[in-house]
């Protein structure tokens, strides 16, 4: 097993733990600012997950396209978190 595979498995476990914990918290704290922040975190984690695992398609798609997809999803995740954070702070 290569080092890259171990890292991908480790990050997958971390993503799953984050999604599980925040999904459970979302059910408990539905509504309000806490619910909005939990939803922001879940969407951000989902977008970063897609960015990290876009490399799986490398055998089907050119490397430059994969890098572009990674950059777009990372930027989208961080932008969503920033915009949502400002919106929650304003309300």
Kindly give, in sequence order, each residue whose CB lies less than 8 Å from that of residue 62, ignoring residues fewer than 6 positions away. none
pLDDT (0 to 100) of residue 18: 95
pTM of the model: 0.85
What is the distance between the alpha carbons of residues 7 and 13, in angstroms, rounded to a whole number?
10
What is the distance between the alpha carbons of residues 81 and 38, in angstroms, rounded to a whole number?
11
Structural domain boundaries enclosing 81: 3-90
Q: Does 56 have pLDDT greater than 90?
A: no
- With CA atoms as reference, report the closest residue to 76 among 22, 34, 40: 40
| 6-28 pLDDT per residue, tens | 998 999 999 999 999 999 998 88
Number of folded domains that form the chain: 1
Pull the structure tokens for residue 15.
Answer: 């993503």
| 75-91 pLDDT per residue, tens | 999 999 999 989 888 87
């Amino acid at each position: 097993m290569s080092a890259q595979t171990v890292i991908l498995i480790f990050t997958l476990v971390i993503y799953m733990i984050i999604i599980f914990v925040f999904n459970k918290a979302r059910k408990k704290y539905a509504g309000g600012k806490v619910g909005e922040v939990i939803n922001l975190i879940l969407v951000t984690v989902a977008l970063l997950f897609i960015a990290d695992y876009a490399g799986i398609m490398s055998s089907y798609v050119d490397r430059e396209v994969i890098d572009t997809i990674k950059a777009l999803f990372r930027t989208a995740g961080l932008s969503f978190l920033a915009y949502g954070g400002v919106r929650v702070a304003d309300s």
